[in-house]
Structure 1
Amino acid sequence: MNKKSVYTKEAPEAIGPYSQAVVVNGVVYTSGQLGLDPNTVEMADGVVNQTHQVLKNVQAVLKEAGSDLNEVVKATIFLNDMNDFSQVNEVYASYFEKPYPSRSAIEVSRLPKDALVEVEVIALEKDNQ
């Protein structure tokens, strides 16, 4: 097994004993990304701004891993409130192109740092297709 950890200053540092992403045999597995600005470590205001920041953080991690949003095959969205689904979905749709990755959206009782949204993805490295 070929396994490597991914780290970039362009996304928030891990807030626990985990990697921003791990690449195994050409597949990128990101950790859940929150709406934290990597420069200020402040949470974006509101679910729309948090979703934009989350996806920017995902993009940064994927870039460091040799991938991008076009290579995402599976996304998982964790929502603090499923009533925010349509707003999150609208922002999400602006970052992805057809064919869209498969996706799950799950309401959870609480997220780290009291975030409103968190996203993790599985993607392919660009050079391993």
Structure 2
Amino acid sequence: MEQIMADRQGLRTDQAPAPAGGYSQGVAIDGFVYTAGMGPIDPATGKAVGDDVATQTRQVMKNLGAVLAQRGLGFEHVVKATVHLQELHRDFAEFDKAYREFFTADPAPVRTTVGSDLNNILVEIDFVAHE
């Protein structure tokens, strides 16, 4: 247990929203990076951006990219994404179109997309990436 704790590194950047509770923006361990679920919060203002899922998705991806960059990683290192959409049926197509802008190489990461009750936002995403 002591060795695992010693190898675990928290990731923190002011280019992504500050945690609003007892969690890290990201954690690196054993060649993997796990991010917290990120919403469409502008880190400069602390407020959600946009009122449509495409705009919010782009901000979420920007936030996640900033956390990955703390470890020298980019979207090409992402192996798994978990996506929560407030309005799954209504917003899926527009979300997917914006999301694909960030993953241009094959293979794309695996992804799970579910409908969730989100707190005044339309989308939340977290990643698992490999160094």
TM-score range, shorter chain: over 0.9
Counterpart code for 1:89: D
Q: CA deviation at 1:14?
A: 0.5
> Where do 1:30-41 residues align within 5 Å?
30-41=35-46
Counterpart code for 2:53: V
Q: Which runs of 5+ in 1 are unaligned?
A: none
Q: CA deviation at 1:66?
A: 2.4
Equivalent-residue separation in structure 1 for 2:58 and 2:47 (angstroms)? 14
Counterpart code for 2:96: N
Counterpart code for 2:10: S
Q: Which runs of 5+ in 2 are unaligned?
A: none
Give yes or no for the alignment of 1:95 onto 2:102.
Answer: yes
SS at match of 1:123: strand
Equivalent-residue separation in structure 2 for 1:94 and 1:48 (angstroms)? 11
Q: Residue 22 of structure 2 aligns with which residue? A: 17
Give yes or no for the alignment of 1:80 onto 2:79.
Answer: no
SS at match of 1:48: helix
Equivalent-residue separation in structure 2 for 1:5 and 1:68 (angstroms)? 17
Q: CA deviation at 1:111?
A: 1.7
Equivalent-residue separation in structure 2 for 1:119 and 1:42 (angstroms)? 17
Please point out which of 68, 78, 88 is paired with 2:74: 68
Equivalent-residue separation in structure 1 for 2:36 and 2:71 (angstroms)? 12
SS at match of 2:47: coil
Q: Residue 115 of structure 1 aligns with which residue? A: 121
Counterpart code for 1:44: V
Q: CA deviation at 1:58?
A: 0.5
Give yes or no for the alignment of 1:28 onto 2:36.
Answer: no
**TM-score, structure 2 as length reference:** 0.91
